[in-house]
Structure formats: C-alpha cells, structure tokens
C-alpha cells in the first residue's frame, strides 16, 4: 500500500488481512507511547477543512514514529487563497520533501488527482486522504474496523445501524464500501429524507437493508454508527435542522430500548446526536474509537513511507475494440435495404459518410451537439432523425453525417455514452457496419455534475468516467450518474 485514497482501491484481502492486521500491530506501540527517532522522514498534513481527530491523531502518530512533520491548516494559510491550483499546491508540498502527504479537502477527488500527478512526475510521495468532501474517509474506516474488531470481536454476522447524515457523511460511505466485503452484515438506515443514503451505496447490500425515518429498527442492532448532520455541505432551513436534531439522537430513554451489549460509535464531532446524560455510559465507545486513530495512522504513515517509490495507481486500459458486424458492396447493401421501409420512409440513404444508428431515444441531439462542439467539430451535413421505429428498441434516434467519417476515438466515446449504437460507414462503393467496445475509462468528455469535484475546480484535471453497471462513475468524486447527466 502506497496511497490511501479510497476504500474502493483495495481488495478484500488487502483491507482485512493486511491493513487491519497492520493497524492492530501498532496498538502496543501506541499504548507504550515510546518515541522512535526518524527525523529524516517527513509527513505533511494539509487540512483545508476543520479537523480535530484526524489531524491530531496523524500528528500524534508522526510524533510517536519520531518523524518531522509540517502542518498546514486552512486554505487561507496557503497560496490556494491566491487562486493557486490544487495541482500546484500538491507539487509544492512534494518538492518541499513530503514523504507522506495527508490532505483533507472540500474538493472531492483532489487527493486522487494529486497522487496521479505526483506519480506521473516521479515524486516519491504517498498521498493519504483525510476526507474529501462527501466522498471518502478511508483511514477513518480502518480505525472504525479496528474498533469493531477489538471491541465487538468480529466483523461478520453483524446488524449495523447507521443514523443521521447518510447522504453527505463520508465516513458512512467509506465504511459501507468496506463492510460490503463481509459476510452476513445487515444494514439499517435511519435518517430524515433530506439526508438519506444515495442509491449507489445501497446497491452494495442487495436485499439486506432496512430503511426507516424512525429510530425503532435500531433496537436489535449490534452496532449503531451515529453521524452529524453535515450542515456545511448543503442548505437546510433552521426549522428542519432543529426537527432533525431533536429526533435523530440517542438519549437515556432510547438507550434503554437498545440491544444488550450494543456498541454506539460516532466518528465525531457530535453535536446533539448523543445527549450529555449518556456520555459516560459503557455503550458509548467513541473515545476508544477515536484513540484507534493513532495506531491506524502509525500504520498508514509507515506503510506509505515504505512504499513511496512504488508506481501504484492502476494503469487503466484506454484501448477500444472495433467489431465489424457486416461488410458489403454498396450495391448489395442498397438491394437489401430497398425492401425495408425504414430507410425510404425516414431518410434518404447516403453514398458517402456515416450513419450512427440505434441511438437511445432522446440522445441523438445531444450526440449531435457533442460532435459539433468541443467533441470533434465534425464537418459535413448532419441530420438527426428522432423517434424512428426500431425492432430492437421500439424507438431510436439516428444521426446521419453525410461526407463525414469519425476517428475511432470519437466513435469509442459515443459508444461509451450509448453502448448499443452501431456505425454504418459508407464510402468507396462499400458499406460497413461496425460496433465499438468502449474503453474502460472515458477521458476528457462530458462534465461531472458535482460542483465540488476536482474536475470542476482545477484547470489541469480532465474528466474521467468509468463504467459502473449501466451508469458512469466519476473516477475522482466516485459518484455514479446516468449517461445523459454527464454528456
Ligand atoms: C468526520 C469527518 O470529518 O468526516 N470526522 C472525522 O474525521 N473523525 C465526521 C464529521 O465531520 O462529521
């Protein structure tokens, strides 16, 4: 392990057999508080959002390891406040000797983007994500798992309730990504509709989720993971906030209804989620949980340092594959086609150019716009024919590019957004029908709808989308979208 960017970057065995075992192995050292002496190793902690536990435990971990460290708190302390880009800020911290660079940002995907830049430019720096907006908080997940394993004794066969802000709370998102690897975990989600868990995380647990706006389903949970309403990330009127604060909290009365031996966790800070009268009850294990941050981060600092010279980011396959489905002389093609009604009724066949067929209904104009705009500035006459009856899809759009031929990369991009399209290429008295298997990552096209995604905040950051089921997933902020939302 070199970088720690997202739980989704690790396989099950890495998380549970290597990382978690590794974190556990630092527990005694963290308890002893013996200080090692390695001032030549340097950690830089750049926290552009407030933090007490993550920053503090990373610093304590660095102190116990005997490292030198540098702490930057708030964008205002840096040239980011003079509109310097994240990319240049990251480069500078690496130039100034960060062996491990820990960053907390409001911008989502900033850490992945900086890790990629530093690796491409041969810096030997491990980048660790101390929380990126609403996306991920992987070291919090490691310490949460360490807490569960230490105090609950197991990581399988658990009923876990999550309560509070499940929409914007990154600690919940990261932890769910890890728990999805375990056996027999049933998840109970308790939140107001305003902060309900996004579908992409629910999909990690098919058939094992209970969702509720009231607290009752928490009563048979082994673990309850509370979270704070992330007021800073969305607008909520004060009345709604008060209603939520009064309802979504654990007090003495509720504690009595919970399962014997329940463990109440919270990444902290908490505001109203735990009432003062139960703060010292044995079920509230939040102080022990927060302490687990120290051995956890001793491990990630040490491991990041050990592997800082590795090339670790996945090399993504950008190749696309062309399949020729049909090849005929134009004469033969026309002979076959003249019998079918569609061509005659909806458009005149062309003798030179490209017809993009089987476009899902409604996407034709968007693809046309893309071809005319930044995507390709394709010359030639373009007709979009909408709502054409289709055997395969009932109704489809068709795009006719007379005297225009698309480079393979452009056909691959179109196929990424509309995987079912075929390209009819007509020219030199020849007809060819091809289909393109899109590359696994689509670069530089479309726009990520998330305002705080790094791709909307750094001029060097290109959009990158990967395929996730039938959706596209932003490689940086890790949110999933319908194809239409992105193009
Ligand atoms: C959380 C965070 O910053 O995501 N805290 C933490 O790191 N321990 C939770 C929060 O801010 O509510």
pLDDT, tens digit (0-9, with 9 covering 90-100), for 369-379: 878 775 556 66
460-480 residue pLDDT tens: 999 999 888 778 999 999 999
CA gap 92, 174 in Å, rounded: 28
Q: Using a pLDDT cut of 70, give the percent of the chain over it.
A: 94
SS3 letters across 185-202: EEEEEECCHHHCCCHHHH
Residue 52: its pLDDT value, please?
A: 95
CA gap 237, 139 in Å, rounded: 32
pLDDT band at 446 (very low <50, low <70, confident <90, very high): confident
CA gap 100, 295 in Å, rounded: 16
CA gap 292, 289 in Å, rounded: 5
CA gap 39, 69 in Å, rounded: 9
Mean pLDDT across 294-311:
97
pLDDT at 342 over 70: no
pLDDT at 454 over 90: yes
pLDDT at 324 over 80: yes
CA gap 318, 296 in Å, rounded: 35
Rounded distance from Cα 209 to ligand 1 centre (Å): 24
CA gap 24, 293 in Å, rounded: 11
Mean pLDDT across 249-255:
96
232 Cβ contact list (under 8 Å, min separation 6): none
On whether the CB atoms of residues 227 and 170 are closer than 8 A, the answer is no
∠ Cα 364 369 374 (to 5°): 140
On whether the CB atoms of residues 185 and 179 are closer than 8 A, the answer is yes
Rounded distance from Cα 163 to ligand 1 centre (Å): 14
Name the nearest CA neighbour of 9 among 128, 184, 164: 128
Residue 78: its pLDDT value, please?
A: 94
Please name the residue whose Cα sits nearest to atom 11 of ligand 1.
269
Cβ 268 under 6 angstroms from ligand 1: yes
Cβ 138 under 6 angstroms from ligand 1: no
SS3 254: helix
CA gap 201, 479 in Å, rounded: 10
* Residues across the chain: 487
158-212 residue pLDDT tens: 999 999 999 999 999 999 999 999 999 999 999 999 999 999 999 999 877 999 9
On whether the CB atoms of residues 60 and 86 are closer than 8 A, the answer is no
Q: What is the mean pLDDT of the chain?
A: 91
Q: Which of 53, 105, 135, 140 to mutate to test the pocket of ligand 1 (most atoms within 8 A of CB)?
A: 140
R_g over Cα of the chain: 27
268-299 residue pLDDT tens: 999 999 999 999 999 999 999 999 999 999 99
Cβ 137 under 6 angstroms from ligand 1: yes
On whether the CB atoms of residues 138 and 115 are closer than 8 A, the answer is no
Rounded distance from Cα 464 to ligand 1 centre (Å): 27
Q: Backbone dihedral region of 202: left (phi > 0), alpha (psi from -120 to 50 degrees) or beta?
A: alpha
Rounded distance from Cα 23 to ligand 1 centre (Å): 20
């Amino acid at each position: 392990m070199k970088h720690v960017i997202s739980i989704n970057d690790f396989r099950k065995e890495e998380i549970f057999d290597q990382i978690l075992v590794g974190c556990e192995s630092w527990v005694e050292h963290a308890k002893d508080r013996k200080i090692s002496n390695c001032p030549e190793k340097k950690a830089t902690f750049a926290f552009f959002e407030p933090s007490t536990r993550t920053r503090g435990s990373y610093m304590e971990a660095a102190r116990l390891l005997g490292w030198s460290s540098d702490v930057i708190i708030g964008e205002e302390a840096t040239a980011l406040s003079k509109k310097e880009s994240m990319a240049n800020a990251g480069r500078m911290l690496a130039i100034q000797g960060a062996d491990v660079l820990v960053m907390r940002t409001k911008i989502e995907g900033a850490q992945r983007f900086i890790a990629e830049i530093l690796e491409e430019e041969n810096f030997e720096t491990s980048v660790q994500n101390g929380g990126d907006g609403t996306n991920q908080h992987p070291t919090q997940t490691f310490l949460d798992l360490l807490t569960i394993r230490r105090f609950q004794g197991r990581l399988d066969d658990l009923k876990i309730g999550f309560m509070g802000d499940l929409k914007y709370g990154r600690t919940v998102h990261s932890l769910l990504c890890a728990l999805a690897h375990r056996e027999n975990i049933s998840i109970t989600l308790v939140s107001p509709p305003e902060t309900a868990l996004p579908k992409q995380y629910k999909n990690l647990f098919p058939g094992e989720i209970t969702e509720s706006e009231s607290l009752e389903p928490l009563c048979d949970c082994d673990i309850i993971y509370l979270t704070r309403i992330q007021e800073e990330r969305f607008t909520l009127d004060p009345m709604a906030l008060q209603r939520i604060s009064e309802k979504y909290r654990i007090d003495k009365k509720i504690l009595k209804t919970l399962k014997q031996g329940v463990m109440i966790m919270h990444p902290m800070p908490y505001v109203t989620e735990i009432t003062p009268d139960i703060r010292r009850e044995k079920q509230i294990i939040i102080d022990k949980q927060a302490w687990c941050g120290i051995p956890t981060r001793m491990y990630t600092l040490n491991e990041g340092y050990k592997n800082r010279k590795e090339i670790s980011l996945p090399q993504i396959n950008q190749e696309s594959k062309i399949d020729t489905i049909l090849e005929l002389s134009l004469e033969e093609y026309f002979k076959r086609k003249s019998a079918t009604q569609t061509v005659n009724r909806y458009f005149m066949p062309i003798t030179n150019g490209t017809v993009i067929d089987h476009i899902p209904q409604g996407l034709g104009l968007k693809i046309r716009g893309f071809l005319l705009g930044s995507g390709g500035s394709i010359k030639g006459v373009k007709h979009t024919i909408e709502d054409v009856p289709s055997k395969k899809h009932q109704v489809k759009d068709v795009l006719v590019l007379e005297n225009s031929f698309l480079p393979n990369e452009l056909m691959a991009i179109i196929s990424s957004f509309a995987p079912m399209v075929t390209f009819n290429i007509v020219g030199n008295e020849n007809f060819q029908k091809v289909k393109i298997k899109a590359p696994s990552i689509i670069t530089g096209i479309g726009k990520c709808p998330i305002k705080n995604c790094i791709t909307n905040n750094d001029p060097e950051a290109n959009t990158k989308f990967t395929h996730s089921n039938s959706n596209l997933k932003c490689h940086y902020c890790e949110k999933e979208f319908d194809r239409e939302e992105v193009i």
